[in-house]
């Protein structure tokens, strides 16, 4: 079945550092890919998405490119802020039921001032 694997956390960085959170997937067909963010005590919010190969999703300074050849969707940000501290989830849509999301295990990110 479809699956998503994220880099193990937790990840701790200093403010203004460069961020990469790796995400690879296994899927049949052509899923859509997502990054969701969960701030402390809150539900998940969609951060960005890409629906086909080579698409780049971007939002709030974060970017991720849908790489079909490497089955990856790595999340990057050039200069992180303390307010970016959260748990980040990579996910893909299950084509069998287009709204169903298959999530990675989540990566906790802490940014120190």
Give CA–CA dist 77/57, Å, rounded: 12
Q: Are 7 and 106 in contact (CB under 8 A)?
A: no
Binding-site member from 46, 53, 82, 96 for another protein (CB under 8 A): 46
Site for another protein in 4-43 (CB under 8 A): 4, 32, 36, 41-43
Distance between CA atoms of 79 and 30, rounded to whole angstroms? 31
Which residue's CB is nearer to another protein, number 52 or number 81? 52
Q: How far is the CB of 20 from another protein (least distance, A)?
A: 19
Cα separation values, 81 from 4, 17, 41, Å:
26, 8, 19
**What residues line the site for another protein (CB under 8 A)?**
4, 32, 36, 41-46, 49, 51, 89, 93, 97-101, 103-106
């Amino acid at each position: 079945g479809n699956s998503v694997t994220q880099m193990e956390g937790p990840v701790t960085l200093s403010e203004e550092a460069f961020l990469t959170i790796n995400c690879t997937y296994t899927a049949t067909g052509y899923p859509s890919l997502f990054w969701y963010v969960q701030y402390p005590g809150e539900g998940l919010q969609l951060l960005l998405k890409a629906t086909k190969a080579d698409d780049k999703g971007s939002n709030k300074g974060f970017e991720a490119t849908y790489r079909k050849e490497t089955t990856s969707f790595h999340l990057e940000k050039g200069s992180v802020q303390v307010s970016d501290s959260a748990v980040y989830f990579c996910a893909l849509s299950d084509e069998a039921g287009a709204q169903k999301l298959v999530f990675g295990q989540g990566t906790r990110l802490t940014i120190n001032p």
